Amino acid sequence: MFESLSDRFDGIFKKLRGKGRLSEADVDEVLREIRLALLEADVNFTVVRGLVARIRERAVGADLHAALDPAQQVVDIVHQELIATLGGETIRITYAPKPPTVVLMAGLQGSGKTTNSAKLARWFKAQGRNPMLVGADLQRPAAVAQLRTLAKQVDVPVYSAPDDVVASGQGDPVQVALGCIAEAKRLGRDIVIVDTAGRLAIDAELMEQVRQISEATNPDYTFLVVDAMTGQDAVTVAENFHQTLELDGVILTKLDGDARGGAALSVKEVVGKPIAFASTGEKLDEFDLFHPDRLAGRILGMGDILTLIDKAKEAFDEQQAEEAANRMLEGQFTLEDFLEQMAQVKKMGNLGNLMKLMPGMPKELRNTEIDDRELARIEGIIHSMTLAERRDPKMIDGSRRLRIANGSGVTTSEVNALLKQFGEMQKMMKGLGGGLLGGGRKKGKKKQKGGRVTPKGGPAPAGLPQGGPGAGSPKTPFRLPGI
Amino acid sequence: MSPIVVLLAVLAIALVAGGLFYVSTQRRSRGPELEPPSTKGGVLAPPRPTEAPPTEAPPVEAEVEAPPAPVEVEEPPVVVAPPVKPSFRERLAKARATFAGFLGRSKIDEETWDELEEALIRADLGVGPATALLDELRAQVKARELETGDELVEALKAEMKLRLQVEDRSLHLDEGRTNVWLFVGVNGVGKTTTIGKLGKRQVAAGHQVVMAAGDTFRAAAAEQLETWAGRAGADIVRGAEGGDPSAIIFDAVESAAAKGADLVLADTAGRLHTKTNLMEELRKVRRVADRDPGHVTEVLLVLDATTGQNGLVQARQFTEATEVTGVVLTKLDGSAKGGIVFAIQTELGIPVKLVGLGETADDLVDFDPDEFVDALFSA
């Protein structure tokens, strides 16, 4: 579908190898690719123009470190620039000194206002607050019923017009919103989330209506709900809503699809307000504060290590993880641990999909079809070893090897191959541990992220395509969020 | 087997790194507002089926409602001053401004080309299709010796119309059969609303229509469809929330066949095309709906005009799962131009059949490529 930006760069940079400095012509060629990638990710035309200009400024004449390949460095510049544009930091929600804190949700039809109102309510609840929802969408049939159902699932009360008024479609959303604020005060609820009807940004009448709601309720936060799949139009929509409502932030929805989400970049650039929250799934708890750095990587098609880590966390036993990590750092990672890890990996889902999330995966590997049955074979081999053998594979001699092979129905050479690769893996991990403990966590991790796939200097694990241009080089520097 | 081991190793490390990361973040003190406490016990939405239930079309309890009571719900006072069918020209007025810039230009220079490209990309046509169009145009400029900006735009218009040409854009109905029109698409594009509007139109055209509330996932989707059925004068078949959509749609088909209705409009839950299990579910819905007496004659992909380049991927995936026969482009009355349908038709051969231009039932109109292109370029 989309080639990732780094893949595209490979071709261009093959020519540039050995150059210490990028000439203007080189940069132009690269910038064309960057522009194309951004446009394909639905970043707005005007925003792309500005971004490319800023990237050019930084890239022309930039000194290239001899040790790193130029593609890597330019991607790095682009990545930094995207993060800067998206707003480097995660939003901090402050609460009104005199409760309730009022939150207004606005957006186009179908962007996900109602669902995300409920998600936001759940999020506030998790922060120890007492939210309340207002069903102020009196236009769409059954919108209030939808909100009530969702609210029930998160156990938050809903205030709206009486049922017959809702059904008539004649209710006044301003009155409903005001009524709810009064009710919230009475009930001691400290957050009021107003779900409004979807409206087109160019519909003067409905925009006036939402302006009135805003004026009457004087919201502390006004969020524009934006679909991550939105194209070039995102800018117009955001501009119009911002003019009418003075937005405080954006909620980006449907990020669980494969849209690149360039719209977020456009909106941020135009409105100048941060993306506050992102919705990443259909379940009500799949919603959280927005992390600009993750999206920056996604727009560039660089894989998403942090999402992978999140997935890992889900599938993971914390204590086990810590133990395994510690053993790994000490270079005492055993086959037993490996077996455990394999079980965890399987829990995370299809191997092929996981590979796609790995940054820096060479293209050849990323597109390999992986047969999960191969896993079973490897497991079988390890299962055929005694506990002592798993802890200390060195003790496996010829006769033990034969026994293991017979036990798992493979040949002795397959057992050998596994043991050899495991040995290399151990070495790799040991090196990694040293780096982590030595160079400070952040830096160490950074190195590790790129380097561990195919350590350039160290022994490359067998079977990895070697020597292919860029195949083994670290592609993607990643910064850890918030630390 | 060796690449597998490498992959495994990498993943294992990723896992451990994840663990490390987790551990390290736990140790760091963080502002409470930066990281919400984990809420493992949080209330979840009802789980979606992870796998299609094994049985095919078990008669789930579905209330077949009697024809709706005389429309009590008054049509919202629609301020339709001129009862004229909304035209593309009128609605796409905003788009014209985009092209106004170079229309007066007499000579064709690099700037003209850049502006044309910008206009096409801003309309969400996509870089690929825009480049292809302009390349073709460059060839024409040489061959036909076009000189002015006006001539250039005319040539571009002609080329776009040519590429949008299809023989048949009508919605198919086989007489004497229980036709099923299935509506698919991602979340929030307007499937339920489109069914409501189209139902009204088909009833007015003399068809007996049954609506099938196959969106059993989104809260209150069935209620929403019910309101529309009431407005349209159509019957509705609905089942329990969280029920099997295939079963509900099959019930609707049987109910339609029993009372001699000739058209079933089947709603489905919005789903992202990346969710394999949900796409499998949809595959099954189509299979079951096509079972005797049902007869699927249209599978309509509903697409929001604001959708960007992801629309093409959506179209590809939904077609792969359900053999999409046409696109319904909704919300074209906004400022979005819906250019992605150009890519969908030229690359996948799926024509746009209907266009949504407003909130009322009359605002769902047939797609007319000539008007679409003309309106885009008229100054």
Flag whether residue B16 sits within 8 Å of chain A, measured between CB atoms.
yes
Q: Is residue B244 a part of any domain in this protein?
A: yes
Which of B104, B131, B164 represents a domain boundary (last residue)? B164
Q: Is residue B34 a part of any domain in this protein?
A: no
Number of structural domains found in chain B:
2
* Chain A residues with CB-CB distance to B19 below 8 A: 312-313, 316, 318, 320-322, 324-325
Which of A268, A300, A332 represents a domain boundary (last residue)? A300
Q: Is residue B66 a part of any domain in this protein?
A: no
Residues A112, A250: one domain?
A: yes
pLDDT at B77 over 90: no
Mark A81-112 as b/e (b = at least 16 C-beta within 10 Å): bbbebbbeebbebebeeebbbbbbbbbbbbbb
Q: Which helix (H) or strand (E) holds A418?
A: helix A412-438
Residue B242 belongs to domain with CATH number: 3.40.50.300
Flag whether residue A36 sits within 8 Å of chain B, measured between CB atoms.
yes
Which of B134, B164, B194 represents a domain boundary (last residue)? B164
* Token pair belonging to A388: 């002592």
Residues A287, A326: one domain?
A: no
Residues A110, A80: one domain?
A: no
Residues B274, B291: one domain?
A: yes
From first to last of the 483 residues of chain A, give the pLDDT tens digit.
Answer: 334 555 666 666 666 655 666 677 777 878 888 888 889 889 999 999 998 998 888 877 666 555 556 666 777 788 888 888 887 677 888 999 888 999 999 999 999 999 999 999 999 999 999 999 999 999 888 899 999 999 999 999 999 988 877 777 778 999 999 999 999 999 999 999 999 999 998 889 999 999 999 999 999 999 999 999 999 999 999 999 999 999 999 999 998 888 888 888 889 888 888 899 999 888 898 898 888 877 777 777 665 555 566 566 655 566 666 777 777 667 677 888 888 877 777 766 666 666 666 655 555 555 555 666 777 888 889 999 998 998 888 888 989 999 999 999 999 988 988 888 888 877 777 666 555 444 333 333 333 333 333 333 333 333 333 333 333 333 333 333 332
Q: Is residue B213 a part of any domain in this protein?
A: yes
Task: For residue A285, give the nearest of B33, B42, B188 by CB distance.
Answer: B42
* Closest chain B C-alpha to A322 CA, distance in angstroms: 6
Flag whether residue A325 sits within 8 Å of chain B, measured between CB atoms.
yes
Residues A26, A139: one domain?
A: no
Name the B residues in 134-163 with CB < 8 Å from any A CB. none
Q: Which helix (H) or strand (E) holds B295?
A: strand B294-304
Q: Read off the pLDDT of residues B256-296 as tens digits, 9 standing for 90 and up.
A: 999 999 999 999 999 999 888 899 999 999 999 999 999 99
* Closest chain A C-alpha to B34 CA, distance in angstroms: 7
Residues B140, B210: one domain?
A: no
Pick from A191, A341, A361 the residue to mutate for testing the B interface (most B CBs within 10 Å): A341
Residue B72: pLDDT band (50, 70, 90) is very low
pLDDT of residue A24: 75
Flag whether residue B224 sits within 8 Å of chain A, measured between CB atoms.
yes
* Closest chain A C-alpha to B133 CA, distance in angstroms: 16
Q: Is residue A168 a part of any domain in this protein?
A: yes
Residues A320, A442: one domain?
A: yes
Residue B110 belongs to domain with CATH number: 1.20.120.140
A483 and B25 in contact by Cβ < 8 A? yes
Q: Is residue B35 a part of any domain in this protein?
A: no
pLDDT of residue B80: 35
Residues A207, A259: one domain?
A: yes
Using a 10 angstrom Cβ sphere, with 0-12 exposed, 13-18 middle and 19 or more buried, the burial of residue B227 is: buried
Residues A321, A380: one domain?
A: yes
A39 and B121 in contact by Cβ < 8 A? yes
Residues B278, B344: one domain?
A: yes
A141 and B223 in contact by Cβ < 8 A? yes
Strands B235-238 and B178-184: unpaired
Residues B285, B329: one domain?
A: yes
Backbone φ, ψ for residue B62 (5° rounding): -130, 125
* Chain A residues with CB-CB distance to B274 below 8 A: 256-258
A231 and B340 in contact by Cβ < 8 A? yes
Residues B285, B205: one domain?
A: yes
Residues B117, B233: one domain?
A: no
Number of structural domains found in chain A:
3
Residues B118, B179: one domain?
A: no
CA-CA-CA-CA torsion sign (A227, A305, A358, A316):
negative
**Could you tell me how many residues make up chain A?**
483
pLDDT of residue A210: 94
> Rounded to whole angstroms, how far apart are CA atoms B340 and A66?
43
Q: Is residue A94 a part of any domain in this protein?
A: no
* Chain B residues with CB-CB distance to A258 below 8 A: 273-274, 310, 313
Higher pLDDT, B99 or A243: A243
* Chain A residues with CB-CB distance to B14 below 8 A: 305, 308-309, 312, 354, 358
Residues B276, B213: one domain?
A: yes
Q: Which helix (H) or strand (E) holds B131?
A: helix B127-144
Residues B157, B178: one domain?
A: no
Residue A438 belongs to domain with CATH number: 1.10.260.30
Residues B312, B192: one domain?
A: yes
Strands A221-227 and B63-64: unpaired
Task: For residue A324, give the nearest of B6, B16, B223 by CB distance.
Answer: B16
* Closest chain A C-alpha to B26 CA, distance in angstroms: 11
Q: Is residue B43 a part of any domain in this protein?
A: no
Pick from B306, B307, B314 the residue to mutate for testing the A interface (most A CBs within 10 Å): B306
Q: What angle do CA A349, A354, A359 make, to 5 degrees?
A: 165
* Chain A residues with CB-CB distance to B23 below 8 A: 318, 321-322, 325
B306 and A36 in contact by Cβ < 8 A? no
Task: For residue A110, give the nearest of B34, B124, B189 by CB distance.
Answer: B189
A82: domain range?
A: 5-86
- The arithmetic mean of pLDDT across residues B215-229, rounded, is 92
B17 close to A329: Cβ distance less than 8 angstroms:
no
Name the B residues in 299-318 with CB < 8 Å from any A CB. 304-311, 313-314
Angle between helices A412-438 and A318-329 (to 10 degrees): 90
Would you give the distance in Å from CA B324 to the centre of its chain?
10
B331: domain range?
A: 170-377
Residues A137, A233: one domain?
A: yes
What ipTM was reported for this prediction? 0.74
Which of A277, A300, A323 represents a domain boundary (last residue)? A300
Flag whether residue B7 sits within 8 Å of chain A, measured between CB atoms.
yes
CA-based nearest residue in chain A for residue B131: A36
Using a 10 angstrom Cβ sphere, with 0-12 exposed, 13-18 middle and 19 or more buried, the burial of residue B178 is: buried
Q: Is residue B52 a part of any domain in this protein?
A: no
Residues B236, B112: one domain?
A: no
Mark B17-33 as b/e (b = at least 16 C-beta within 10 Å): bbbbbbebbeeeeeeee
Q: What is the pTM of this model?
A: 0.71
Flag whether residue A165 sits within 8 Å of chain B, measured between CB atoms.
no
Residues B154, B247: one domain?
A: no
CA-based nearest residue in chain B for residue A260: B310
CA-CA-CA-CA torsion sign (B194, B195, B200, B201):
positive
Flag whether residue B85 sits within 8 Å of chain A, measured between CB atoms.
no
B241 close to B213: Cβ distance less than 8 angstroms:
no
